[in-house]
Amino acid sequence: MNTEDFPIAGMDQRTFYFILAALLYSIGKNEECRKLLSRLILMRGNGVNLKNRIEQLNVLATKAMKEDAAS
């Protein structure tokens, strides 16, 4: 069995996790998205742009979770 480590497809671990979180949000898995984002925000070495995008996606996922709970 082959195993790969980062970089995968030219992406570092932070980029991969952010894309995965965005995918989870887009398919409506907001709780899993927020869990991944919370782990991602704690990683050292995040750039300013990535931090801003993480915060924006976290706000969107939180709003979606509240809307789902209200309905």
| pLDDT at 10 (0 to 100) | 82
| pLDDT at 32 (0 to 100) | 97
Within the chain, how many helices (H) and strands (E) appear? 3, 0
| pLDDT at 1 (0 to 100) | 63
pTM of the predicted structure, to 2 decimals: 0.85
Give, for all 71 residues of the chain, the pLDDT tens digit.
667 777 878 888 999 999 999 999 999 999 999 999 999 999 999 999 999 999 999 999 999 999 988 87
Residue 18, C-beta contacts closer than 8 angstroms, at least 6 positions apart: 40, 50, 53, 54, 57
| pLDDT at 20 (0 to 100) | 96
In the chain, domain spans: 13-70
Distance CA 27, CA 24 (A): 5
Q: Between vectors from CA 29 to CA 11 and to CA 53, what angle results, nearest 5°? A: 45
